[in-house]
Each structure stands twice: as C-alpha cells, then as structure tokens.
Structure 1
Amino acid sequence: MKKLLAVISFATLIALPQFCRAEDITRFAPLKAEELNPSQKAWAEAIAAPPRNAKFTNPPYRAYIRNPDLAPRLTAMTDYLRWNTSLPPRLSEMAILITARQWTAQYEWFAHYPLAIKGGLDPKVAGDIALGKRPEGMKDDEAALYDLAMALYRDKKVSDPVYKAALDKFGERGIMDIIGLMGYYDITSMTLITMQAGAPNDSVKPLPALER
C-alpha cells in the first residue's frame, strides 16, 4: 500500500507542472465591470475621467484596483506628479525614464519614452539612459537631475556638489518633486514587474539588459 501511494504521489508531482506553468498564469488578471465592489467601481470611474482617461483593466491600474483603499492615494500622487510639479515635462519625464531604466520596467519605458520626447528631451539623451550610461550633451538642468537621481540610486548618498547643483536649478521644492517622481515610479515599476507587464508592441525600442 505504501509503495502504491508513493507511486501515485510521484506521478502527481510529475503531472502538476503541466497544469501550473508560470506562463499560463495571468497575474492581476483584468476584472470585469460586474466583478467590482462599490469602492473599486468608484475608483474605476474616477480614473476614467479627464485628464487621465485611463481604463482600470490596463497596467498598472488592474493591479492597483485590488486595493481600493490604496489605489486612490496612488493616483492622487500621479495627478500631482504628472501635471502639477514645478518641473517641465522634459525633466519630469526624464526622471521617470531614469526610474524605468533602474528597474528595467519595459511597460513604463514604453509609456513614457514618447512623452519625454514630446516634452523636449533629446532622443540621444534618452538613448544613453536606456544604455545605462551618463548621457552626453545634456542641458545643465538635465545634468543636475541625472546626477541627483544616480547619487540616490547608485551611491545611496548625495554629495554636497550634487546637492548644490540640484538646489541651484530646482530649489528645495523641485528637489522634492524629483524625489517624489522617482519614489512613485519605483512603486509603479515594482507593480509592473510583479504583474509581468511588458510593452504591448514594439513601437518603442525596449530597454536592453544591462550587465550586472
């Protein structure tokens, strides 16, 4: 009897992967409208309105909606960071691209690369960010932003010269705007990576893998 149970258990272990392959799992699968509870429905309706015009079934919203208490707080940050900071789009989108590169968040890069270029960021600067190197030909404010971001991501400290350069260009409020952008899009990147959200098409060149 024990031998028979052992054979059955072994056969079950062999069979399980056929039904539980990782590629068969859709993480944070899109919910249907009729599946939403009142809190989720209220938030879904809120993000569908201008200026966001977002669908709750798209990344990262289809993950955020799983926590309707957290979701509106996250999107309130989005409203400020996307449209109301002291930074022009060229710089705010540059900060988002730097964050996407740090996480190799392909969906985030796909979504924000066109916005950065539309905002006035030189495609060559964005291209160097994608390659993981300090861009050549940056404007003074772009260099100050890049150096502050990399001091935080790479060095985990901000030197006096890097801080002074950022302070001269952005002031204390602007520095906090940059930190806020990076911090929020860190959350977004982690969400997108967890839900395995890749770029939906190849209209934007994907981020290359970087050597560790």
Structure 2
Amino acid sequence: MRARRGGHLTPLDETLLHSPPVADGWNTLLGAIRTQTLLDADIRELAILRVAALNGAAYEWDAHQPVALRAGLSRHQTDALRGAAEDAAPLLTPAQRCALAYTDAMTRAVDVPDEVFDRLRSHFDDRRIVELTAVIATYNLVSRFLVALHVGSPGGPADENGAQA
C-alpha cells in the first residue's frame, strides 16, 4: 500500500489497515483499476469525480481533482462535473459525455438504460466498457466507504486509542 502511494499512507489507508485482509484486497483492486487498464486517464478520472460528486464524497473529490487535471481535464470541466450532467455535457468530448451518462446511470439507478449503453458502445470497445464499468463500480465502493466512515473529515472514526483513522 505504501509503495503504491509513493511512500506515505493516507487517512483512507490508515482506516483500511484496521483490517489487513481488506486493505490488501483493496490495494490490489485499486492498483489494477488505476494502473493496469487501457481506459484513457481523462475518462477514468471523469468517472471518479462524477461518482464523488453524486455521492458527496469530498475526500475522494479532493484526492482526484488534481489527477483529473493532470489527465487533461480542465478546471472548468471538473468544476462542471459537480453540477447537473446537462450543464457539464457541452464542455466534454462525445466520448466523455457518454462516460458521464453511463456514470450517472450506474451510480443513481444501477440499471443502465439501453440507449445509454448503446451510445457508450459507439466510443468504447468491450474491454474499455468493462474497465469503465469497473472504475465506476469501484469508486462507488470507495465513496460509500469514505462517506460512511467520515474518512478525512473532522469527527471521523476513531481508532482504539481515540486517534483519527
């Protein structure tokens, strides 16, 4: 976990380490999602930010907005992802708009309408659709974990010694 993070642990890592088997599996999954897919980084980070915005996961947003900017999204684009999809859409490429619609459908309703999925297929091959789906599903897991345990928030969970997790 420390190696994947460049030598330091985040509040999320420290929370996960209360269960070493969960931390190990989490690290493996997130490492694969972040570094071993063919999905373009801008699409991956757009999906992550949108999930964070929809689920109110401020810690996730703060961690990924700089990554999204490095991946080629503009500050204007990332800021728009916090609002309504129809407001963000004009700032995005056609592939990014399809990824946004897919992210919204998966996060809000789980079941994706055929028309959203059909538009997605016009921009992504099967592997990238699987990878995008895994990104969205994984970061829904991450955001729900962060929000439920108030990771990175004042008043977050305390460990056995009373320290912030």
Query: CA contact under 8 A between 1:59 and 1:192: conserved in structure 2?
Result: no
Tell me: CA distance 1:54–1:161, structure 2 relative to 1, closer, same or farther (3 Å).
farther
- Residue by residue over 1:93-142, the C-alpha shift from the partner in whole angstroms, topping out at 9 and shown as x without a partner, is 11110110121111110010011011011322211111243312210110
CA distance in 1, matches of 2:101, 2:83: 16
Q: State the TM-score, normalized to the length of structure 2.
A: 0.83
Runs of 4+ in 1 over 6 A off after TM superposition: none
CA distance in 1, matches of 2:7, 2:136: 21
Q: What RMSD in Å do the two structures reach over aligned CA positions?
A: 1.9
| Structure 1 position 198, deviation (Å) | 4.0
Q: Which runs of 5+ in 2 are unaligned?
A: 155-165
Query: CA contact under 8 A between 1:48 and 1:54: conserved in structure 2?
Result: yes
Bigger Rg, structure 1 or 2: 1
Query: CA contact under 8 A between 1:60 and 1:188: conserved in structure 2?
Result: no
2:98 equivalent to 1:141: no
- Name the counterpart of 1:127: 79
- Name the counterpart of 2:66: 114
2:3 equivalent to 1:53: no
2:142 equivalent to 1:188: yes
- Residue by residue over 1:135-194, the C-alpha shift from the partner in whole angstroms, topping out at 9 and shown as x without a partner, is 122101101101111122234322222112212211122111112112211222122223
Query: Which residue among 133, 145, 156 is the counterpart of 1:179?
Result: 133
- Name the counterpart of 1:69: 21
Higher relative contact order (CA 8 A, sep 6+): 2
| Structure 1 position 86, deviation (Å) | 1.6
| Structure 1 position 196, deviation (Å) | 1.6
CA distance in 2, matches of 1:199, 1:171: 39
- Name the counterpart of 2:47: 95
- Name the counterpart of 1:104: 56
| Structure 1 position 59, deviation (Å) | 2.1
Q: State the TM-score, normalized to the length of structure 1.
A: 0.66
CA distance in 2, matches of 1:102, 1:54: 31
- Name the counterpart of 1:81: 33
